[in-house]
Amino acid sequence: MADRPDNSAFDGSNKPQLALHVPEPKYRPGDTVDFTDLNVPPAGEQARPDETCDPKETAPLCHDLVRVLGDDDKAHGPWDPKLSPDVLRTMLGHFATVRAFDERMFRGQRQGKTSFYMKCTGEEATSVSAAMALASDDMVFPSYRQQGVLIARGYPLIEMINQIYSNKGDKLKGRQLPIMYSSREHSFFSISGNLATQTPQAVGWAMASAIKGDSRIAATWLGEGSTAEGDFHSACTFAAVYNAPVILNVINNQWAISSFSGFAGAERTTFAARALGYGLAGLRVDGNDPLAVYASQKWAADRARANAGPTLIEYFTYRAEGHSTSDDPSGYRSAQEREEWPLGDPVMRLKRHLIALGEWDEDRQAEMDENAATHVKQTTKEAEKNGILGHGLHHPFRTMFEDVFEELPWHLKEQAEQAVHEREVKFPEGLPNR
Amino acid sequence: MAIELKMPALSPTMEEGTLAKWLVKEGDTISPGDILAEIETDKATMEFEAIDEGTVGKLLVEEGTENVAVGTVIAMLAGEGEDASDIEAPEPSKNADTAEDVEGEGKDVGRDPSEAEITKPSATREPVSDPAIPEGTEMVSTSVREALRDAMAEEMRKDERVFVMGEEVAEYQGAYKVTQGLLDEFGPKRVIDTPITEYGFAGIGTGAAMGGLRPIVEFMTFNFAMQAIDHIINSAAKTNYMSGGQMRCPIVFRGPNAAASRVAAQHSQNYGPWYASVPGLIVICPYDSADAKGLLKAAIQCDDPVVFLENELVYGRSFDVPKLDDYTLPIGKARIMREGSDVTIVSYSIGVGLALDAAEKLAEDGIEAEVIDLRTLRPLDKQTVLESLAKTNRLVIAEEGWPTCSIASEIQAICMEDGFDHLDAPVLRVTNEDVPLPYAANLEKMALIDTPRIIAAVKKVCYVD
């Protein structure tokens, strides 16, 4: 290698050799998992500063873990949102629906009814409980695992399934991937497949809301892996500089497909601690504790609404299933991780809490789960009447040219008419869906 | 009704797999979640789960069968109230493969010899034209820089939702002074200095537009906007389409584009062809002051995302602008800058000035050139180009930019497809050299298009010399 420096002179020199560090997760397939070194503080011991506090006051919380539900299934400490049993049961109902929905859609993909699906198992609280803490018209800029937000906001399941099956009922007219939902009516921004682009857009939306003197805030979700995108840093900078009424939710579910959180920097610090450098308020929260998720999101929402500033929240959770239907996690992580996860399962924790309150029992839970499964099943059958992926011509041919621009420009009009004309000449007997 | 069980896809790219093993047999009762079979691909093995309850009617594909195409019906399931033994294999016509392969939907459309005839444009475009300028209207000599500023100021006075953001747009009055005076008139909440991140404020602007405002995002130059291109293309341009028409993004991305003087490779690039290739974007690239003003106003009023490309070298040039209230021009309409009958020179932006100079010199040699300023690069006004070609039968494109995949190549393609019968000579393009722009004055000059090169190309297509 004549064009490279000759390093042989360094052999035997007493200068210390440099060594590259490549992060490696603790456990690989087959390994015995031991999470005892994870620092899980007792519930209720974290201070709750005033919503309008200086961001500096949240610094200790960026390295702590806000928890409400204790091992005794009771709510503890200043972060207890003191929700009524009715609200808790509603939350549990949304959990049941999300889980039943995920189960059925995943199997539907395995049956070829759609090409792709993503479950949120184990992370339900980070969407459902957070959404319940926001106003229903606060603008949400989600990532791809926030089906819980839509379900909590009452978006009809059939609309979700129509899109997943890409059938003639698909409101997005066959233009968007399954699960990349979009509903203006439910203040749910069109999900972007380009990771983290939604974060500066959420900040921009929030700034616009502030410019207009509106009362609505924005909230966005992204995975811990995509905090490495430049978007996230731009979003944090703008949020801090203009004091934007926005909540940045980082879902630290430990895994970005097969890359563990260490590849996004988790070996060095917490994701919540990113807030400190920007001057944002930061909270690190047990993402499997529905009450802590609700309370922290409410805290941040109240803060934003009071013009007291943006908040970055890290929800510490675990992706219990594969990344998507295209992923097989048994190839890169230990199956024991899910079982040993020290923060438990959010659905079970809320259920046990309600039972501990004397407001719930196993029979009612079984009934709730069964009702959810039946509801999802019936809705699926209903949606299948509109067709499934690859069967039939679901969308009128001409709609392909629509919505590229606000008004159909002449060149697309020309293309559309040419195409329709071509079909008429070639298939004079007529085709469906012209 | 019997339920068809199809060969599942493990991933969107999987096309076939091996049906390794059946774990149920005909007559078995199954419920959701039961494992029915194991499917193998070269990458992984997966379990095929039941989604419905019922009774297994027929197993149509034997275990161990390789290369089973995704979508093939592999088993039939009897539903409630059905006798599993009555279940028949589906008619072949109901298979997924044939359902997908419907005549005329693309897969099997043959290219008949009569294709050209069939696809001939049937739509004729309704003519649009610039608004009439009433007799006696005062014409005011205005620099392009002032014209752009006036356009923004007028729209900001008219519409509270319009605001400007970018690096140095407020206190500094714009890196090239295009936002001069706006801060004084509209204050820091509508003329916003930003942190130094084109990527960041392109995303912020996109979000603000989706939030109901009408942002004008100034890039100090479009050279710095390469990092912002993801927001411009993947978010601003596509969201309306992807959301099924629910989410609009009315935003203007503007700033100087293409080569300036002595700023070398990283600061001297024409992005017109890049943006003009993207469905969902409007791309405007004006030359003189009146067009800069009238088209920037149109861009701000437009409900679609607009990329508005200016030119630093032209900012200081002055041209007449009609003194009219709300002088707004139509987007997508080219302008005939000089009429001529012998040859057509198509250009845009700074190239228009060179083309006009070339036309004056050619006139001395008895060649009357028609000069067309495209003004809008997307949608492109091919009708004006083709009408001129039909008159002159010869065409040259002058573009300050690289030749490959350029607006010039696009015009050539349009002339070949739709103007072939009118051509008396090959269409020629005059562009920059195909190299990053050098810094050295002599090299820079040689790398950029100039009037003599346009004249030479015109003479060539006119078969003079």
CATH number at residue A318: 3.40.50.970
Q: Answer whether A370 touches B (CB < 8 Å).
A: no
CB contact under 8 A, B211 and A205: yes
Q: Which domain holds residue A203?
A: 55-324+333-384
A4 vs A139: CA distance, rounded Å: 55
* Minimal Cβ distance to B200: which of A200, A328, A423: A200
Q: Answer whether B127 touches A (CB < 8 Å).
A: no
In a domain, A35, yes or no: no
Q: Answer whether A357 touches B (CB < 8 Å).
A: no
What is the reported pLDDT for B100? Answer: 43
Count Cβ atoms below 10 Å from residue A318 Cβ, excluding itself: 22
What is the reported pLDDT for A273? Answer: 98
In a domain, A345, yes or no: yes
Residue B148 has pLDDT above 80, yes or no: yes
What is the reported pLDDT for B165? Answer: 97
My answer on whether A126 and A196 are in the same domain is yes
Residue B95 has pLDDT above 90, yes or no: no
Smallest CA–CA distance, residue A267 to chain B, in Å, is 27
Q: Please report which confidence band the pLDDT of residue A3 belongs to, taking 50, 70 and 90 as the band edges.
A: low
The DSSP string of B217-242 is EEPS-GGGGGGGHHIIIIIITTHHHH
- Could you read off the pLDDT of B186-214 as tens digits, one per residue? 999 999 999 999 999 999 999 999 999 99
What is the reported pLDDT for B2? Answer: 73
* Minimal Cβ distance to A173: which of B32, B112, B244: B244
In a domain, A75, yes or no: yes
Of all residues in chain B, what percent carry a pLDDT higher than 70? 88
Cβ(A221)–Cβ(A297) below 8 Å? no
What is the reported pLDDT for B50? Answer: 80
B260 vs B242: CA distance, rounded Å: 37
Taking only residues 89 to 108 of chain B, the set having a beta carbon closer than 8 angstroms to any beta carbon of chain A reads: 96, 99-100, 102-105
What is the reported pLDDT for B103? Answer: 42
B319 vs B292: CA distance, rounded Å: 10
Residue B220 has pLDDT above 70, yes or no: yes
Mean pLDDT, residues B358-367 taken together = 98
Chain A to chain B Cβ contacts (< 8 Å):
234
A97 contacts: CB under 8 Å, gap ≥ 6 = A151, A157, A372, A375, A376
Q: Which domains does chain B have, with CATH numbers?
A: 3-78 (2.40.50.100), 139-322 (3.40.50.970), 335-462 (3.40.50.920)
Q: Answer whether A258 touches B (CB < 8 Å).
A: no
My answer on whether A183 and A296 are in the same domain is yes
Number of structural domains (chain A) is: 2
My answer on whether A286 and A405 are in the same domain is no
Cβ(B169)–Cβ(B192) below 8 Å? yes
B15 contacts: CB under 8 Å, gap ≥ 6 = B9, B69, B70
Give this complex's ipTM. 0.81
Is residue B168 annotated as a catalytic residue, yes or no? no
Is residue B267 annotated as a catalytic residue, yes or no? yes
B49 vs B64: CA distance, rounded Å: 18
Q: Please report which confidence band the pLDDT of residue B1 belongs to, taking 50, 70 and 90 as the band edges.
A: low
Q: Please report which confidence band the pLDDT of residue A11 belongs to, taking 50, 70 and 90 as the band edges.
A: low
Cβ(A51)–Cβ(A308) below 8 Å? yes
Q: Please report which confidence band the pLDDT of residue B98 belongs to, taking 50, 70 and 90 as the band edges.
A: very low
In a domain, A303, yes or no: yes
B424 vs A398: CA distance, rounded Å: 37
In a domain, A91, yes or no: yes
Cα B414 to Cα B24, B272, B389, B408, B417: the distances in Å are 61, 17, 11, 10, 5
My answer on whether A125 and A230 are in the same domain is yes
- Could you read off the pLDDT of B55-80 as tens digits, one per residue? 888 889 988 898 888 878 888 888 66
> Rounded mean pLDDT of chain A?
93
| Furthest-apart CA atoms within chain B: distance in Å | 94
- Could you read off the pLDDT of A151-171 as tens digits, one per residue? 999 999 999 999 999 999 999
What is the reported pLDDT for B14? Answer: 75
> Rounded mean pLDDT of chain B?
89
My answer on whether A401 and A263 are in the same domain is no
What are the chain A neighbours of B93 within 8 Å (beta carbons)?
A: none
Mean pLDDT, residues B160-165 taken together = 97
* Minimal Cβ distance to A211: which of B10, B163, B280: B163
More confidently predicted of B63 and B374: B374
What is the reported pLDDT for B101? Answer: 42
My answer on whether A254 and A290 are in the same domain is yes
- Could you read off the pLDDT of A244-281 as tens digits, one per residue? 999 999 999 999 999 999 999 999 999 999 999 999 99
Token duo for residue A303: 């803060």
Q: What is the pTM of this model?
A: 0.85
Among A340, A313, A251, CA closest to A36: A340
What are the chain A neighbours of B100 within 8 Å (beta carbons)?
A: 390-391
* Minimal Cβ distance to A194: which of B104, B123, B230: B230
In a domain, A164, yes or no: yes
What is the reported pLDDT for A12? Answer: 65
My answer on whether A230 and A351 are in the same domain is yes
What is the reported pLDDT for A396? Answer: 77
A215 contacts: CB under 8 Å, gap ≥ 6 = A209, A305
Q: Please report which confidence band the pLDDT of residue A319 belongs to, taking 50, 70 and 90 as the band edges.
A: very high
Among A323, A322, A318, A315, CA closest to A338: A318
Residue with token string 């609505």 = A216
What is the reported pLDDT for B377? Answer: 98
Residue with token string 């995949």 = B405
What is the reported pLDDT for B53? Answer: 78
Residue A289 has pLDDT above 90, yes or no: yes
Cα B196 → chain centroid: 26
My answer on whether A337 and A409 are in the same domain is no
My answer on whether A275 and A416 are in the same domain is no
Cβ(B334)–Cβ(B381) below 8 Å? yes
In a domain, A29, yes or no: no
Smallest CA–CA distance, residue A205 to chain B, in Å, is 4
Of all residues in chain B, what percent carry a pLDDT higher than 90? 70
In a domain, A390, yes or no: no
